[in-house]
């Protein structure tokens, strides 16, 4: 999409990547308290992103890596959807879901991160 190096946005990309690397594991500890809910929220979030693209990616003054920005966005969303589908298929396998629950229990993830009402 946008060529962040050419657009002088490399520091922004680094900050976003660093935040995801640092915060992602903690967010997932909460998110996977309820696998079905996590999957539903991930699907809704992806739908929202697809329907509400970040407008600066279409700004001509920001250099792009591809000529057709809309096609690049469609490709990016398709790639994320494929990744989400792969994750969903993995988690629908009862063996994998049980293994995740066992690992979370062993590491006391539910007690540390999951609220019960």
pTM metric for this prediction: 0.78
Provide the pLDDT for residue 7: 61
> What mean pLDDT comes out for the span 98-107?
95
pLDDT of residue 2: 73
Q: Please, is 2 exposed, middle or buried when counting C-beta atoms within 10 Å of its C-beta (0-12, 13-18, 19+)? A: buried
Question: At residue 52, does pLDDT exceed 70?
Answer: yes
Q: Report pLDDT for 49.
A: 92
Report, as an integer, the average pLDDT of 49-77.
Answer: 90
Domain parsing of the chain, residue ranges = 10-113
Distance CA 30, CA 113 (A): 5
């Amino acid at each position: 999409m946008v060529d962040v190096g050419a657009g002088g946005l490399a520091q922004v990309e680094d900050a976003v990547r660093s935040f995801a690397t640092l915060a992602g594991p903690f967010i997932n500890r909460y998110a996977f308290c309820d696998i079905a809910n996590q999957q539903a929220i991930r699907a809704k979030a992806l739908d929202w992103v697809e329907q509400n693209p970040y407008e600066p990616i279409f700004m001509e003054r920001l250099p792009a890596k591809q000529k057709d920005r809309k096609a690049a966005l469609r490709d990016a969303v398709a790639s994320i959807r494929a990744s989400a589908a792969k994750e969903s298929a993995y988690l629908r396998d009862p063996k994998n879901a049980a293994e995740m629950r066992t690992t979370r229990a062993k590491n006391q993830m539910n007690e540390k991160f999951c609220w019960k009402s």
